[in-house]
Amino acid sequence: MTTRPQKFLNVISSLGSLATDANARDGWPGTFHIQLSNQKLYIALHVSSISPHSRAAYELRFQNPAGENRIVSNEGGAALPILLGIDDTQATPIFVATEGSTRVGRPTRFSILFHQRIIDEARRNGWATYTSSTGEKVCAFVPMLLPSFIEQIIQNEEVSSIDIAEAAVASGVMDMQTDINYQEWAGFRATRAINVLARKAGAGKRIRRAYGEQCAMCGLGAGIIQGAHIFPVEAPGSNDEIWNGLSLCYNHHKAFDLHLIGVIPDTNEIILHPSLRAEAQQNQGTANFVNSTWRWLGIPVDVRHRPSAQMFTARYDYFSDLYSWMS
């Protein structure tokens, strides 16, 4: 049977150089620094095994150490507490984890319950989540997505499981290469992707709210709108301020992303690409879209939230030739 410090060290070694300054102690918790997309973070990692739970066949759990009165610790507020169970029944281990802040200082026995399916999903897709009946969120993932898991906690935004699974594949985390340098690089790429997705999700929510949950180009509401960055999130120096955003319906968002629609800085006049106007002559659907588009942006009542002319200018400079049609 693997001892708890050894389990901690297994977690650390699976992270390669993304984990530094590891101190196993007795594994409850062990501490280390983890490399995130743009910072290192101090982690108090509480490791445990995963075991069946008798209540239902599909239910699994991990628990704090029995009979030792061992509290969950955040190292006096210096570390982020993570509770982590390890499924090592197959060649690729799967981590099951939850954020431990709500349990800090509590020595009482607890079980973190989750459905067996998230282990299988994580093995197939890299990532899966489970929300318990008490609202506790439990995530299952391949080891190199541990930094991505922590990145989401720090950003305080939930990224959809589908988006994370896509990021896992795109980053190379699912290639299952044995080369640790390759794995480290893939893990870091995944963390950066999750950082961008979490920022988009958080900014999107704030932007939509500022615009009264309506499209700034046509007024559509109905819960089918998104927050869009003006100076794009992937560009160096971009920010998540509401004045660098627009609330847009899916069609206007896509048209904006494809540079088929632009806004004149200062006047907020909406300009359509000539190809859209041409297609509208032939296609009634496109004509409806063109006709539904306002002449000027609908902007937030709060002046601090209104879209910045500078951000539009920065966007047009960043994509340069893609906006030559506007001049």
Binding residues for Zn ion, per CB under 5 A? 215, 217-218, 220, 249, 252
Least distance from C-beta 292 to Zn ion, angstroms?
Answer: 7
Task: Name the minimum Å distance from CB 283 to Zn ion.
Answer: 18
By C-alpha distance, which of 154, 239, 163, 147 is closest to 197? 163
- By beta-carbon proximity to Zn ion, the closer residue of 11 and 215 is 215
- Burial group, residue 263, by CB count within 10 angstroms (0-12, 13-18, 19+): buried
Min dist CB 281 to Zn ion, Å, is: 21
Amino acid at position 255, single letter: A
- Give the integer Cα–Cα distance in Å for 29 and 8: 9
Of 22 and 276, which CB lies nearer to Zn ion in the complex structure? 276
Q: Which of 123/252 has CB closer to Zn ion?
A: 252
**Minimum CB separation from Zn ion for residue 246, in Å?**
10
CA distance 92 to 115: 19
The nearer residue to Zn ion, 221 or 232, going by C-beta atoms, is 221
Q: Are 100 and 81 in contact (CB under 8 A)?
A: yes
User: Considering beta carbons, is residue 113 or 246 the nearer one to Zn ion?
Assistant: 246
CB of 235 to Zn ion, least distance (A): 23
> d(Cα 215, Cα 253) in Å, to the nearest integer?
9
The distance of closest approach from Cβ of residue 295 to Zn ion in the complex, given in angstroms and rounded to an integer, is 13
Residue type, 222: A
Q: Nearer Cβ to Zn ion, position 171 or 226?
A: 226
**CB-count exposure of residue 245 (10 Å: 0-12, 13-18, 19+):** buried
- Phi/psi at 175 (5° precision): -70, -15
Q: Name the residue type at position 47.
A: V
Q: Do residues 199 and 32 lie in contact, with contact meaning Cβ atoms separated by under 8 Å? A: no
d(CA 135, CA 129): 12
Q: Which is nearer to Zn ion, 207 or 215 (CB)?
A: 215
**Cβ distance 241 to 307 under 8 Å?**
no
Task: Report the chain's terminal Cα–Cα distance, integer Å.
Answer: 70
- Amino acid 125 reads N
User: For residue 297, what are the CA distances in angstroms to 181, 215, 239, 247?
Assistant: 48, 9, 21, 10
Q: How far is the CB of 249 from Zn ion (least distance, A)?
A: 3
CB nearer to Zn ion: pick between 79 and 217: 217
Query: In the bound complex, what is the minimum distance in angstroms from residue 4's beta carbon to Zn ion?
Result: 55
